[in-house]
Amino acid sequence: MGELSFFFGLQVRQIEGGTFINQAKYTKEMLKKFGMESFSTVSTPMSPSIKLDKDEDGQSVDIITYCGIIRSLLYLTASRPDILFADSSFNLISYADANYTGCKVDRKSTSGTCQFLGDRLVSCYRKKQTSIATSMTEAEYLAIGSCCAQLLWI
C-alpha cells in the first residue's frame, strides 16, 4: 500500500524529524467547489459594531449549497489535528457574554461562551437566546446558565 500521504482530507508527510499533517488541499478544494477562490482574507470577518436585522429585499439562499458549506466547514474544524496535549497547563477557564436585545427583528438577546483548557480553545458558541430577556441582567444570567451547562458537559 505504501506510505500514508492523504487520508480523509488530511495531508500526511512523514520525515525523520516527525510527522506533519495539514489540510491545505482539502481547504483549497472546498473553496473551489463553492466558488470562493477569489475571496480576500480578513483578520475579523465582521465588524462587532454592526447590528444585523432582517433583509427584506435580499435574495433567497440556496439551502443545498448553504448546508454543503456548513458541513464542509464543520468537517474542516472537527478534523483538524489537535495539539492540545502538548500544553502543560490543564486549567479549565470559561468566558460568557450577552448583548441585550441585539436582534432588531424579535428583540432577542445573543449569548456567547468560550471554554479554554490551558491556553487552548476547546469549545465555543454564539447563538440567539430562545427567550426574550427583560433586562441586561437577565440576558447575562441566561448566558451564564448556558456557560455552566457547557462546563458541566466538559
Residue 146 lies in a domain: yes
In a domain, 97, yes or no: yes
Q: What is the pLDDT of residues 76-134, one digit of tens each?
A: 877 766 554 557 567 888 998 887 776 677 777 888 888 888 777 788 888 777 777 77
Residue 60 inside a domain? The answer is no
Q: Which domain holds residue 140?
A: 87-154
| Average confidence (pLDDT) over 11-30 | 84
Answer whether residue 137 is part of any domain. Answer: yes
54-86 per-position pLDDT tens digit: 778 888 888 899 899 888 888 887 776 655 455
- Residue 123 backbone phi and psi in degrees, to 5: -160, 140
- Is 153 part of any domain? yes
Q: How confident is the prediction for the chain on average, in pLDDT?
A: 80
Tell me what pLDDT residue 136 has: 79
114 and 123 Cβ atoms separated by less than 8 Å: yes
Distance from the first to the final alpha carbon of the chain: 39
- pTM (2 d.p.): 0.48
Query: What region does 8 belong to: left with phi over 0, alpha with psi -120 to 50, or beta?
Result: left
pLDDT at 25: 85
Q: Which amino acid is at 19?
A: T
Number of structural domains found in the chain: 1
Q: How far apart are CA 146 and CA 151, in angstroms?
A: 9
In a domain, 72, yes or no: no
Q: Do 101 and 109 contact (CB within 8 A), yes or no? A: yes
